[in-house]
Amino acid sequence: MKSLLITTLICALAEMLNAQVKTDFNNGEQIGTRGKYSKNFRGKNPYVIPARDIKVLLRQDSLEILSSKAIPFKIAKALPVNINVVKEAEWVEEDGMAYGKFTLMAASAKSVSANFDQFFLPEGTELYVYSQNGEMITGPVTEKENNENSLWGTWVYKGGFLTIDLKTPIVTKSNLNLHISSIAYGFKDIYEERVANFGESEACNVNVICAGTAWENERNSVALILDANSEALCSGVLVNNTCNLNIPYLLTANHCFETNPQQNVAHWKFTFQAWSPTCTPSQNANGVTFNGSTLRARNAASDFCLVELSQMPPANSNITFAGWNRSNVAAPNATGIHHPNGDVMKISQDNDPIVRSGGGFFNNATHWEVRWNSGITAVGSSGSPLFDNNRRIIGQLHGGTSFCSTPTDPDWYGSFDQSWTGGGTNATRLSNWLDPSNIGSMTTNSRAIMSVTGPTLICTTGSFALQNPPVGLPVVWSSSNQAILTIDPSSGVAVRQSNQSGQVTIAATLNAGCGSSIEKNVWVGDPSLTYVPPGPNPCTSNPYYYGPPTEGLSYQWTIDNPNVWLVTPSTSVFATVLSHDPEYFNLTLTISDGTCSTSTTLFSYTDGYYCQCFFPPCGGGFLRFAVSPNPASSQVEIRFDEKEYEKEVKKFNAVNYSVGLIDERGNALSEINISDKSYKWDTSKLPAGTYYLKIKYRDLTETKRVIINH
């Protein structure tokens, strides 16, 4: 009998980070040996995973299918590894950033993916994962993917090559933690392209996009699920609740969990919106992936499993919550949306009334039977939703016998009404989770994800609105601290009180009986500055300051010494300073939204440093060079520190360094090589203005600003 696969999702709270990782399955950018960031890597050999006997793996998979009536769609074999990516990667450091590149090769594999049991990205880090030549690429992955379990996993990439490219601040590189515990060695080619369709599913399957916009809301709720070891695929659906709360519960099949009950659902991966962009011919799909989930309830009788995503999809993702119907009355027709064989999303339709039946395989009282007029299902479709004529979920796929050669053979779905009461406990039924306030509704409708829109900083007044509210439910607004900010309960207009400042939570409540709301944190009054003072040397101990960085704020840096070079964009929360010779300066940061503002002198130096400083991080070195006079007229002298010069001569018998002259626009004017401790550069013919001397000695680089006045 054909077995089907299930999926599980994890729910995220409304105030969790709106992390999402996008994969481009059809990337047109060719990535070579220089990597995503085009750096001069030496070309370290890939980390090699020895070839496995694919015929043996396929034979083992066939035996598993024959021994079970309902199992997930297995595509790979998880192989334990012990890979410290940070140590194994090749690194290049430039301008305060470290760029890393790590490649592994699973020899002869059809696909490959990686599972991390240690995962932490410092703030400001970017990570990309891609297949050979960048044909498929995921990223950027940022610190928003950090989680309490320190788990993360890639999606499945075509072929046996997987490359990880990194960009991270040097100052926090030591906090970077990336450890791969297993590699999924693919033995089935799920990205096989055929004439009639894309992928492994049979040709009679119908792309969901062929239905036009009729099922747009529902298709945006369906996910393709990759299990904890990245070995097997299922389908699932994001489900609504009676309170219309943004809780990302995902419904799938219990047999996907039971196949390996020891697996950690915190390591499951969920990809939404993975459909062909055209009806025909079928094409590969891009998708949005979320990592991690928590098990909420499951029951074998109706074969359901409910998980809560660790990440809440953002409101602008177009991902939706599907409505449901817990009635036991048979629907006059039904529709299934699913990922057969891990293929792009398909749609199957039964135009006739469905019936209670288990076909002798399952309990007749707990399942709906369908016989398709269009499309079929397959392994990988397990856990996918069955919708009634009102586009509400009435079950999830357990198993079936439909094939393109026998399209009207039955498939069976565990019925939603039976899963509602389940085994009578919160861990074995849906009702506790999908009706948290015991409202008793028989149905819910599909809806978009809600969010509160409005300013993140309020000087005097602000206006808030609820995006994607359900039809017919009034919104009641409230403020967590009315001494700072009051808000009109019906209009959402907020007013600052008594010139006070602080953080306030704005809440939009749809149903007071549910006791929960959609929330947004805002700052009221002058922007807040948090400052960690540097150590005694600004080149090794760095100040951090932030607004915190908020949309709509500008960050303006000023420095009070014309001989000290300050370069930073107005949107940056960090400053870049180039100092030379003994120079003092005061560095001031002003944060503003155009009305409210705050200004703070962050630090004051009376002693200069012979280094190029980035805050954070500081880069360059401690090149003991002096440049004088500055400002200059006819000539400028470059002097190597005498003691340092003698020490270098004694150590290396000679000192050779280069000095390049750069104008204010960054154009290189000339460059010379010098071996003496000093050199006098003729500046008499240079137009008056600002120039920069870029001094290179061994692995160190120093930039010094020079002002020419005639």
Q: Which has the higher per-residue pLDDT, 44 or 9?
A: 44
Lowest mean pLDDT across 40-54, 101-115, 583-597: 583-597
Give the model's pLDDT for residue 538: 47
Residue 197 inside a domain? The answer is no
Round to whole Å and give the CA distance between 121 and 318.
27
Q: Indicate which CATH number applies to the domain containing 659.
A: 2.60.40.1930
Q: Are residues 388 and 482 in the same domain?
A: no
Residue 620: pLDDT band by 50, 70, 90 thresholds?
Answer: very low
Q: Are residues 539 and 499 in the same domain?
A: no
Report the C-alpha dihedral over residues 604, 607, 613, 619, rounded to 10 degrees: -140
- Establish whether 179 is a catalytic residue: no
Q: Which has the higher per-residue pLDDT, 281 or 75?
A: 75
Give the model's pLDDT for residue 649: 84
Residue 96: is its pLDDT beyond 60?
yes
Residues comprising the chain, all counted:
710
Q: Give the active site residue among 3, 61, 230, 255.
A: 255
Provide mean pLDDT across the span 230-252.
Answer: 95
Residue 440 inside a domain? The answer is no
Percentage, residues of the chain above pLDDT 70? 84
Q: Are residues 429 and 316 in the same domain?
A: yes
Round to whole Å and give the CA distance between 163 and 99.
13
- Establish whether 663 is a catalytic residue: no
Q: Are residues 520 and 463 in the same domain?
A: yes
Q: Are residues 43 and 126 in the same domain?
A: yes
Provide mean pLDDT across the span 8-21.
Answer: 40
Residue 60 inside a domain? The answer is yes
Q: Are residues 153 and 219 in the same domain?
A: no
Residue 411 inside a domain? The answer is yes
Q: Are residues 364 and 484 in the same domain?
A: no
Q: Are residues 261 and 360 in the same domain?
A: yes
Residue 631: pLDDT band by 50, 70, 90 thresholds?
Answer: confident
Residue 19 inside a domain? The answer is no
Provide mean pLDDT across the span 59-87.
Answer: 89
Residue 499 inside a domain? The answer is yes
Residue 228: pLDDT band by 50, 70, 90 thresholds?
Answer: very high
Residue 576: is its pLDDT beyond 70?
no
**Which range marks the domain in which residue 630 is found?**
625-708
Number of domains in the chain: 5
Give the model's pLDDT for residue 457: 85
Give the model's pLDDT for residue 280: 87
Residue 343: is its pLDDT beyond 80?
yes
Residue 62: is its pLDDT beyond 80?
yes
**366 contacts 302 by C-beta, under 8 angstroms:** yes
pLDDT in tens, 140-184: 999 999 999 899 999 999 999 999 999 998 878 989 999 999 999
Give the model's pLDDT for residue 621: 39
User: Which of 153, 186, 219 lies at the terminal end of a domain, its last residue?
Assistant: 186
Residue 614: is its pLDDT beyond 50?
no
Q: Are residues 687 and 597 in the same domain?
A: no
Q: Are residues 671 and 604 in the same domain?
A: no
Round to whole Å and give the CA distance between 275 and 31.
25
pLDDT in tens, 350-369: 999 999 998 888 888 999 99
Round to whole Å and give the CA distance between 578 and 574.
14
Residue 624: is its pLDDT beyond 90?
no
Round to whole Å and give the CA distance between 282 and 215.
18
Round to whole Å and give the CA distance between 116 and 153.
6
Give the model's pLDDT for residue 529: 65
Give the model's pLDDT for residue 469: 86
Residue 443 inside a domain? The answer is no
Residue 8 inside a domain? The answer is no
Q: Mean pLDDT score of the chain, rounded to an integer?
A: 84
- Establish whether 255 is a catalytic residue: yes
User: Which of 524, 542, 558 lies at the terminal end of a domain, its last residue?
Assistant: 524
Give the model's pLDDT for residue 567: 52
Angle formed at CA 215 by CA 205 and CA 422, multiple of 5 degrees: 85
Residue 272: is its pLDDT beyond 80?
yes
Q: Which has the higher per-residue pLDDT, 663 or 298?
A: 298
Q: Indicate which CATH number applies to the domain containing 113.
A: 2.60.120
Q: Which has the higher per-residue pLDDT, 110 or 534?
A: 110
Q: Are residues 292 and 212 in the same domain?
A: yes
**415 contacts 395 by C-beta, under 8 angstroms:** yes
Q: Which has the higher per-residue pLDDT, 615 or 695?
A: 695
Round to whole Å and give the CA distance between 562 and 585.
9
User: Which of 504, 524, 544 lies at the terminal end of a domain, its last residue?
Assistant: 524
Q: Which has the higher per-residue pLDDT, 103 or 603?
A: 103
Lowest mean pLDDT across 43-52, 220-229, 250-259, 467-476: 467-476
Give the model's pLDDT for residue 324: 98
Residue 542: pLDDT band by 50, 70, 90 thresholds?
Answer: very low
Q: Give the active site residue among 182, 317, 382, 579.
A: 382
Q: Are residues 144 and 245 in the same domain?
A: no
* Amino acid at the residue 365: A
Residue 115: pLDDT band by 50, 70, 90 thresholds?
Answer: very high
What is the reported pTM?
Answer: 0.77
Q: Give the active site residue among 61, 303, 350, 417.
A: 303
